[in-house]
Structure 1
Amino acid sequence: MAGPSKRSWNSLTVLSGFIVPKGELANTPDVADDSGSDDDEDGDMQWLDMNEIDDANAGVSVAAPKRLCNQLVHVRDKFGRVHRVKGRFPLQDPWWDLSVECRKSGGNMYLTTGYPEYRLNKNPSKDLILLFLKKYDVHPQHIEAFHNALQREPSLQEQPLNFENLCDIVEQYGKLNETTEAVSKQMLSLINFTGREESQALLAPTWLRFGPKLLPKRFYGLLLSKEERLKVLDTVTAQEPWKLGFGPIMYWEHRFIGCEATLDAFKHCNLLERFPPAEKDAIYIYDFIKSKCRREGHTFVYEKALHRRTFGDHNIVDRVKALQFLVDNKITVQLEGKVSLKRYYDYENNIKGGIGELLEKDKISKWMIDSDDLQGVFGEDEDQKRAAEFICKNPVTVMSGKGGCGKTYVVSKVFKVAHRQILEEEAAAEREEERCLNETDSLSRLEDMENSQEDQEGAGGEGIPEGSQATVSRSGKYEKEDSIGAILLTAPTGKAAHLLGKRTGLKAFTLHQVIWSYRNRKGDGWKFGDVRALVVDESSLVSVQTFSTLFGILLKHSCLQKLVLLGDVEQLPSIEPGNFLTDMYHSLAPIGWSIKLRTNHRSESKLIVDNATLISQQRLPEFDQERHFHEVRVDREDMLSSVVTRLLQNGRANDHKTSQFVAFRRKDCNIINEVCCKHYSQHCIKNAKNRSWFQVGDKVCCTKNANISLYVDPSVTPQPEKEEEKDKEEGKEKGQKSKKSGNDVRLCNGEIFFVVEDTTHISEKGKSRRWLTLDDLERQIKVDYHEVKSKGGLKHAWARTIHTYQGSESDTVLYVVGTPTRHQNWQHVYTAVTRGKKEVYVVTSPGALSTSVQTLPIFRNTHLRNFLVNLLDPRRPPPNKGPGGTHSQARGFVTALDLCTGRGSGAGPSTGTDDGEMEKFTSISEPGKVLGEGQGTPM
């Protein structure tokens, strides 16, 4: 292996060598010490759609990601020099020869610029082989005996000792005598079952070399795939590497889910030169479509934009052929001059199909909720009355409104009535069934009386109707206890689901909990199988992918008849491509199935609501200290720390349980968290090793969904059982299927806790385990510290970004606008201030707030609205006659608010398109009423 070599063209050092084993170097930190273990780049495993879930359950390979920490290791080159290197290394044993690009960072420290290439050492020393055996728990005495035999037995010296021949040599060692035979079997068992990394690497040398760069998070999981699957992957990498750039091809041709490398990854591997011309053109165009959709929220791009697009490092040879390649391989869909990623096209098309299916069900068996019991419930609020009527009558209802307008109040009242009616229907059905059974029993007894006494006895011995009924009854009762019932309340985040459940008095779930439950269901039964109504709160946060998956599952595997979407169309849309709530709201408005609640029912938040309306009209809010809407000036960006300190000292955020800082930039959140941590908990957020430091008194939150181990008192649960459960959990982390332990808790992304206790327990085996007691003001849970930190993505939470805090509320919100940027628009400010229920502080520099409020959101190009308009067109009422008896022609559907505000990407339409043309829109003054062009707000 070569030592460090300089590349003058990029000032990079290619460092080659191997990672020094743990403990070999004196006075150096452990290789496991890292300064980036808190990196949150790796979130939850990507959520699969329903078809992929079914395929995964049927055995299709799923490339599960593995979290890679930014670690400090020591690399020894061939000259024996040791270099400190900070980077991400999926394999760290000394028998892996690596090569990685680095930049020097002063002294003898290198920072990696990417991921390493690996090769298994072909000429390992005996000491390295013995170290390998030690790692995989071969008994030290057996290792010593094997080592001695290698030196004295000629038969063991016939083949070179390396990883390829190791198993053969161990087998030969077993033939020496009876003692070595038993030892040999044990060694082979450990090598084959626990030392899979090395044996798999021998099968796939090309994947071992390029896999860490192509699919860094999924490399390790794929390395441990079944032998035949790994060989397929290695063959593709060696002979047709371009296929790895197109996930749909890997899925349809080779049955791998989640295998798609980026264009940049191929560049780092220098594999683009192996691509055929059409495939090379295609991956550049595909990468542009993906990045544009991800960055701007589109589900399609205009074909004209693709024909104009140029790439600095590549000249497209044949655009038409490349685009056709993408279509032929089910990667994109071309429709009327629009090019969609097929998966997004399918998500939106499936939502349209699901709505159509609900309409067909409604024709066959309409579910009408009796609204008589709702008389007088909503007082004088006509919007709430109409919304309740919509839910009772229609299969689909979309309800929009600001916080405090009563969306969840309407839902709770309507579905409490529906729940009571369902119970009454079930009771009536049970009585009818019991009556039929009694009639059957009476007829049976009459027949028995006509039979002989002997036949009667025989009949009595073979079947006991009462016992049979009791069994059915017990079975039915068991199923009902497992089932969540007919009404399913959901939200996109754990915090939003918790608030929804608290306000309605019914159990609520996150959307991903329902999807995960389906993926892990066993047998034919499913606890959501009896669902008849689906309610989704905070729908502006929901992506088309997530909703399409959930909607498809419930339509196929439950009794779904009603869909109710709640949210605020003026809030930020999902960070993922699509514009779900806005498209649903505006496409259903012409047929009267969507409604906006306009009345604020929180007296203390009147100015907050009024200012939110001003912001949505791109006007500056009105500040009034007496009415609890404050402006806090920051003259310079570097003054944020002192301003936050002053706010805390003046008692503006005196109670961190009822107040929350919100910022647009994560950088500002880090500054605020540092100040708050010193103020509330008297320590820094990072320790001396630059790791997040959590202590009693801290305000924390989970940033990922995860099952975390709960503390169980050893005096209550036997220790062996606990150890077994821990083993199962560890097996789960290694990718093995394991049964969920009953001693864990599901923590959801966005849940906020306060650390009230920090303890360490030592087991009988002398192993210490740290536990944190977390309090969310309604419950206390004692969880494993390392699990909640790594799997749950534990972070300090005095300050949250607006995207992560959307869907939550606090009595007091302090919003830090930050430096003006084109990425922050009026929707960010609107969403932030509406998180406050009683009081709002806007921390801003001169001009920053004005710039943000006047910035338009990027219009999101989506298919869903047109799909639904075409589907619902037959239900649309005829247009009103205009002056002179002619019909006003409506060509589209948007909100009646000012078109120049850019609504449509979250609040309404922006008229700019990719090809420079202007689109005309029609305004809607209220649900069900369509205005002709010229009747709406002027453009």
Structure 2
Amino acid sequence: DRQIEAVRCVTGNKVMVITGGPGTGKTTLINAIIRICSAIKTKIMLAAPTGRAAKRMTEATGHEAKTIHRLLEYSLQKGGFQKNEDAPLDCELLIVDEASMIDTLLMHHLLKAVPAGATFVMVGDVNQLPSVGAGNVLKDIIESRVAPVVELNEIFRQARESSIIVTAHTINEGRMPNLRSSQDKLDDFYFIEQEDPQKVIELIITLVKERIPRRFGFDPFDDIQVLTPMHRGIVGGTNLNMELQKALNPGDEGVTRMGRLYKVNDKVMQISNNYDKEVYNGDIGRITAIDAEAQEVTVAIDSREIPYGFSEMDELVHAYAISIHKSQGSEYPAVVIPILTQHYILLQRNLLYTGVTRGKKLVVIVGTRKAMAIAVGNNKTEKRYTLLSERMKR
């Protein structure tokens, strides 16, 4: 019923929001809207905030989705976005996925470029972490009620069989998930109790290097992603990257940049948008070559070989472990997440929820029940004073 309502909304409104958690049918609904609108020859454009999210949208719909920056033809040389109210997008329907990641400034530029007669559909999961940049746009638009909102909250039957999806929804409702995993049957969600941070590190290394590949057949580099709530500390991203690099890619030959040793085969992540190279914040790849003479490293990202001068290496960080914030808009076959009370300041429900929903086929949490309970119970997310909702109601 919600889906029929959404399709009706698209035909009768200029702006609408579709929100829902994993397994509630957001992708199915986007595909239904695209199918119906394509049949009546509507000009459709699809976009998402990150390269990875755009790629996922393309795969899920069979229609090309671009990053918002590419859609708006961002050019450093020409001084910003080329698409605006004077040169609007050539579309009658614009669908943007992962809308919770869009900050105030980017949304401002995007709305300016939507043609006057077009319909703008925002799709996202409002319970995820808000954008890294300023604002909480999706939440504010929903709360203002100035645009119709279709909330998908029923989990599809086949999705109900996934412990990942059931766990994510339980966390989102503020209830403690079932942390008892069956040792006999293969499941897709596991919790391993361990409170000693040093032992957590050792356990994560064993999981990534041996146990998960052996039991599930996932590749330690390409399929398994460690996600952490914080950068600092023993189980923070910086230390985890050093330990995982030693375990998965030993040896000391490479190039040192900013105190970090980069080696051939290292897993790395782009941390800013580089439009010349067409690589975007959050893209993950592997170093395939280091040429000391040419002062250049080559990184394979999504089957493209991309050269980086040594001077450009500040755009890359190791990605054996990445922050949950950086993982937004991405999905991985398997994720491993340490959740300890050492992180207690950062333990928030939406952080845990975002981390768990990154795993497509397997999620393993290593830590303590106490830390899980703190995260599940802490819904006091960092308040963002935006006034956008109030201003939109006027």
Give TM class, smaller chain. 0.7 to 0.9
By percentage of residues, which structure has more helix? 1
1:794 counterpart (306, 316, 328):
316
Q: How far 1:622 moved relative to its partner?
A: 0.9
Q: How far 1:836 moved relative to its partner?
A: 1.1
- 2:264–2:290: 8 Å Cα contact kept in structure 1? no
Seen in structure 2, the aligned counterparts of structure 1 residues 833 and 397 have a Cα distance that, compared at 3 Å, is: same
For residue 516 of structure 1, what is the amino acid of its counterpart? Y
1:753 counterpart (275, 278, 285):
285
1:418 match: 37
Query: Is residue 832 of structure 1 aligned with residue 351 of structure 2?
Result: no
2-structure distance, mates of 1:397, 1:689:
46
Q: What secondary structure, in the 3-state scheme, does the structure 1 residue paired with 2:337 have? A: strand
What pairs with 1:431-580 in structure 2 (closer than 5 Å)?
Answer: 486-513=43-70, 514=72, 516-517=74-75, 519=79, 529-552=89-112, 554-555=113-114, 558-559=115-116, 561-580=118-137
1-structure distance, mates of 2:83, 2:333:
46
Q: What secondary structure, in the 3-state scheme, does the structure 2 residue paired with 1:822 have? A: helix
Unmatched 5+ residue regions in structure 1?
1-381, 424-485, 709-744, 762-766, 871-939
Q: How far 1:597 moved relative to its partner?
A: 4.5
What pairs with 1:188-227 in structure 2 (closer than 5 Å)?
Answer: none
1:599 counterpart (122, 146, 155):
155
1:637 match: 197
2-structure distance, mates of 1:839, 1:521:
39
1:806 match: 328
RMSD: 3.1
What pairs with 1:336-351 in structure 2 (closer than 5 Å)?
Answer: none
Q: With structure 2 as the length reference, what TM-score do the two structures score?
A: 0.84
2-structure distance, mates of 1:685, 1:527:
51
- 2:96–2:121: 8 Å Cα contact kept in structure 1? yes
> CA-to-partner distance for each residue in 1:794-835, whole Å, 9 max, x for gaps?
111121101110111112111112314233211111111111
For residue 746 of structure 1, what is the amino acid of its counterpart? E
Q: What secondary structure, in the 3-state scheme, does the structure 2 residue paired with 1:412 have? A: helix
2-structure distance, mates of 1:810, 1:419:
31
Seen in structure 2, the aligned counterparts of structure 1 residues 634 and 507 have a Cα distance that, compared at 3 Å, is: same
1:584 match: 141
> CA-to-partner distance for each residue in 1:365-422, whole Å, 9 max, x for gaps?
xxxxxxxxxxxxxxxxx33332222223322221111223332332233224423533
Seen in structure 2, the aligned counterparts of structure 1 residues 525 and 410 have a Cα distance that, compared at 3 Å, is: same
Q: How far 1:688 moved relative to its partner?
A: 6.4
Seen in structure 2, the aligned counterparts of structure 1 residues 788 and 751 have a Cα distance that, compared at 3 Å, is: farther
1-structure distance, mates of 2:209, 2:316:
27
Query: How many correspondences in the alignment?
Result: 377
> CA-to-partner distance for each residue in 1:592-642, whole Å, 9 max, x for gaps?
443325233654862222211221222211122443211122322233322
2-structure distance, mates of 1:520, 1:491:
18
1:618 match: 174
Q: How far 1:772 moved relative to its partner?
A: 0.8
Q: What secondary structure, in the 3-state scheme, does the structure 1 residue paired with 2:74 have? A: helix
- 1:387–1:595: 8 Å Cα contact kept in structure 2? no
- 1:406–1:601: 8 Å Cα contact kept in structure 2? no
1:693 counterpart (247, 255, 261):
261
Q: Between 690-699 and 489-498, report the one with greater CA deviation.
A: 690-699
- 2:229–2:343: 8 Å Cα contact kept in structure 1? no
Unmatched 5+ residue regions in structure 2?
none
What pairs with 1:13-28 in structure 2 (closer than 5 Å)?
Answer: none
What pairs with 1:166-315 in structure 2 (closer than 5 Å)?
Answer: none
Seen in structure 2, the aligned counterparts of structure 1 residues 645 and 783 have a Cα distance that, compared at 3 Å, is: same
> CA-to-partner distance for each residue in 1:295-327, whole Å, 9 max, x for gaps?
xxxxxxxxxxxxxxxxxxxxxxxxxxxxxxxxx
Seen in structure 2, the aligned counterparts of structure 1 residues 768 and 834 have a Cα distance that, compared at 3 Å, is: closer
Seen in structure 2, the aligned counterparts of structure 1 residues 688 and 619 have a Cα distance that, compared at 3 Å, is: same
- 1:673–1:685: 8 Å Cα contact kept in structure 2? no
1:664 match: 229
Percentage identity across paired residues of the two chains: 24
1:400 match: 19
For residue 383 of structure 1, what is the amino acid of its counterpart? R
Query: Is residue 860 of structure 1 aligned with residue 392 of structure 2?
Result: no
1:472 match: none
2-structure distance, mates of 1:617, 1:574:
21
1:676 counterpart (239, 244, 250):
244
2-structure distance, mates of 1:855, 1:419:
44
Q: What secondary structure, in the 3-state scheme, does the structure 2 residue paired with 1:646 have? A: helix
- 1:490–1:511: 8 Å Cα contact kept in structure 2? yes
By percentage of residues, which structure has more strand? 2
2-structure distance, mates of 1:523, 1:512:
10
Q: How far 1:865 moved relative to its partner?
A: 2.1
Seen in structure 2, the aligned counterparts of structure 1 residues 522 and 845 have a Cα distance that, compared at 3 Å, is: closer
1-structure distance, mates of 2:108, 2:327:
24
- 2:73–2:81: 8 Å Cα contact kept in structure 1? no
Which of 1 and 2 has higher RCO (CA within 8 Å, sep 6+)?
2
Q: How far 1:491 moved relative to its partner?
A: 1.4
Seen in structure 2, the aligned counterparts of structure 1 residues 641 and 683 have a Cα distance that, compared at 3 Å, is: farther
1:151 match: none
What pairs with 1:711-726 in structure 2 (closer than 5 Å)?
Answer: none
Q: How far 1:758 moved relative to its partner?
A: 0.8
Q: What secondary structure, in the 3-state scheme, does the structure 2 residue paired with 1:575 have? A: coil
